[in-house]
Chain A
Amino acid sequence: MAPISRGFRGRRRAEADPARIPPGQYVTHDFPVLSAGPTPHTALEAWSFTIRGAVDQPASWTWASLTALPSEKVTVDIHCVTKWSKLDTVWTGVSLDTLLEGVETSAEYATAFSDGGYTTNLPLEDLTGGKAWIAYAYDEEPLESEHGGPARLLVPHLYFWKSAKWVRGLELREEDEPGFWESYGYHNYGDPWKEQRYWGD
């Protein structure tokens, strides 16, 4: 066990179910913003979402065609590597299962890419099976650009840097390749329940 910090009692939040808080996280009611650079602003008319790379045929959706697809409203807990967790966040978006339905691929990995040049890598199986969405609404309002709007990837079972803001597509790959934060010392997979924050965790 870790050594005791003399005089530290902590301020436990009675309202949060400890079973829902991964190790080292604390519950916040705000929605902190974190990003490595300026917030990009892409006009919806110029926006598209593309699945490319190791696929038989790349697939692309305009804003109109993506938001016309069947959507899901999901309530999930999110966990940021900077230690905050936010419970019961409500998102609306299109399941990646829907987008990947007609895509033929033997790829096992995906790199999400975003306006502004951000990338993040994930195993493809973490994007399928009802685990990931392209989310365009938060709390039933259009997603604000600070929080990744017009649309962001939502993969709540991994640390939130994997839920790429301003997402514009997926590059499917046979081989895994580290994305932005994954190249700067952050864990390649990022499971909050195993506290995989940094390289070697």
Chain B
Amino acid sequence: MERAAVLGRLNWQLATVVELVDETMRTKSIVLDPPEWAGHRAGQHVDVRLTAEDGYQAQRSYSIASAPQDGRLVLTVELLDDGEVSPYLVDELRAGDQLELRGPIGGYFVWEESLGGPLLLLGGGSGIVPLRSMLRHHNAIGSNVPARLLYSSRALDDVIYRDELARLAASDEVDIRFTLTRESPEGWGGYRRRIDRELLEEVAWPPSDRPLVYICGPTGFVETAASGLVALGHEPGRIRTERFGPTGG
């Protein structure tokens, strides 16, 4: 009991759903107002718990999409066809509903200015979510740490936070690059291929610059990106990964 008190239990709480924002055909951002929120660090996640009328429960983890400075808690959830929780969150949840959650959770896949950089973010699909929190945080604190994002999506319509990232890309503050792996529109100015060693070499700073790397996406993407960077000579200890499989939820 004493230890629990010292370390602080993460209690379940009922957050009010303030707003739902369509991000792509398959992803929505859920804007939440939790009654007790002591703040979070960019890159952390929360656990969400759903309860059916007969008491049956399902829990999943979702990355926080908002920056600590945003003043509201936002999750972005991708609909998984065989999922149990994500179809509810994307298709059923409405503004005004209550959503049970606890967090923030996780202390490693987190970026704070004290950790320095250069900051290299590599995201695949909805793996962009915690990286977007880091980018918003970087922006909100006016950080001078050089930051670069490579974001891999299947097609332009699958790009989450498209307008926001395009606006950021147009500023000089961060360097944002997109790659589309399945289809790209005519005149597309970004990359048109899957992440590989050659693309990593082009996008990553040289190993001598010792970038701090955060990689989030499906297992294949993360594995390719992380092992590719190690092969190029980047320090494994400066590469932080977060993966989700097809059963994420």
Contacts and interface: CB of A to CB of B under 8 A. Distances in A.
30 contacts: A1-B55, A3-B14, A5-B51, A5-B97, A5-B99, A5-B100, A6-B92, A6-B97, A8-B52, A8-B58, A8-B88, A30-B246, A32-B219, A32-B245, A32-B246, A32-B247, A32-B248, A35-B241, A35-B243, A37-B226, A38-B239, A39-B223, A39-B226, A82-B61, A116-B236, A181-B108, A184-B107, A184-B108, A198-B9, A201-B9
Interface stretch (A9-17, A44-52, A121-129): A9-17
Contacts of A26: 58, 84
A10 B52 contact: yes
B115 interface: no
Nearest to B11: A200
A43 interface: no
Interface in A86-120: 116-117
Given A5-B52, A32-B219, A201-B10, 7 more contacts: A3-B100, A7-B92, A10-B58, A30-B246, A37-B239, A83-B61, A199-B8
A7 B90 CA distance: 13
A104 B8 CA distance: 38
A44 to B, nearest CB: 19
Q: When A and B form their complex, which 5 residue pairs have the shortest distance between CB atoms, in order from nearest?
A: A200-B9, A32-B245, A184-B107, A199-B7, A38-B226
B53 interface: yes
B9 A199 contact: yes
A116 to B, nearest CB: 6
A68 interface: no
B248 A200 contact: no
A116 B236 CA distance: 7
B99 to A, nearest CB: 7
A4 B51 CA distance: 5
A174 to B, nearest CB: 19
Interface of A: 1-12, 23-24, 26, 28, 30-40, 82-84, 116-117, 146, 180-181, 183-185, 197-201
Given A33-B243, A38-B239, A2 B88 contact: no
A200 B10 contact: yes
Nearest to A184: B107
B4 interface: yes
A37 B109 CA distance: 10
Interface size class of B (residues with CB under 8 A): 35 or more
Nearest to A117: B237
A89 to B, nearest CB: 15
B224 to A, nearest CB: 11
B12 A2 contact: yes
B100 to A, nearest CB: 6
Interface in B33-70: 47, 49-53, 55-61
A200 B247 CA distance: 27
Q: Please indicate which of the listed interface residues A35, A116, A185 has the most CB atoms of chain B within 10 Å of its own CB.
A: A185
Nearest to A32: B245
A64 B51 CA distance: 51
A83 B86 CA distance: 14
Given A26-B58, A83-B59, A200-B9, A36 B240 contact: yes
A15 B193 CA distance: 40
Nearest to B5: A200
B248 to A, nearest CB: 7
A200 B56 contact: no
A35 B216 CA distance: 11
Contacts of B58: 8, 10, 26
Interface in B63-119: 84, 88, 92, 97-100, 105-109
Nearest to B228: A38
Nearest to A180: B108
A30 B245 contact: yes
Given A38-B229, A83-B60, A198-B10, A33 B52 contact: no
Contacts of A198: 9-10, 105
Nearest to A198: B10
B15 to A, nearest CB: 11
Nearest to B1: A200
A27 to B, nearest CB: 9
